[in-house]
Amino acid sequence: MLAITGTPGVGKTSVAEVLRSRGYRVLHLNEIAEHYDCLEEDGEEKLVDLEALVERFSEDDFSADFVEGHLSHHIARRCVVLRCNPVELRRRMEGKGWSEEKIAENLEAEIIDYILVEALEVCEEVHEIDTTGKTPEEVADLVEKIFRGEVSLPPGGIDWIAELGDRIDEFVRR
């Protein structure tokens, strides 16, 4: 099973939908958490009890090719971290009507490589794809090639801090 992870808004769900349409079995992390009774309702949000999920999870319980979600790297040995330039990511999140607080929190996470660092700590194999300017189909093509072992896209080539330069203050809270 290959995890498709990344900061909210980078394109995980869109890529997962493309892969599903191509005949792959793709689960969302919440489906797996619900199976193990590790999903808690908090108002309108569903929160995953990650500690309990990691403890209970067995890949043998599922016949999935992919698991998608921003915490999915915690239950897979292999993962692909989707990344997106913060300028584009902000546009995507604003387009979804997210609050300024949620946008700022997720932009900071993307800029400091938060999900990538976590993935490197818990996964045996980590790949990284910049989704900026790519269609979900193009990203899904790369994810498929990684899944089949045809290509390796090792992490380390994306540096939003360097790319943003003096504009970084526009994207981080003080």
Binding-site residue positions for ATP: 9, 11-14, 134
Binding residue positions: 9, 11-14, 134
d(CA 50, CA 63): 21
d(CA 99, CA 32): 28
Asked if 11 contacts 82 with a C-beta cutoff of 8 angstroms, the reply is yes
State which H helix or E strand residue 146 sits in: helix 136-147
Structure tokens at 167: 């504009």
Q: Which of 115, 120, 124 is nearest to 77 (CA)?
A: 124
d(CA 114, CA 137): 25
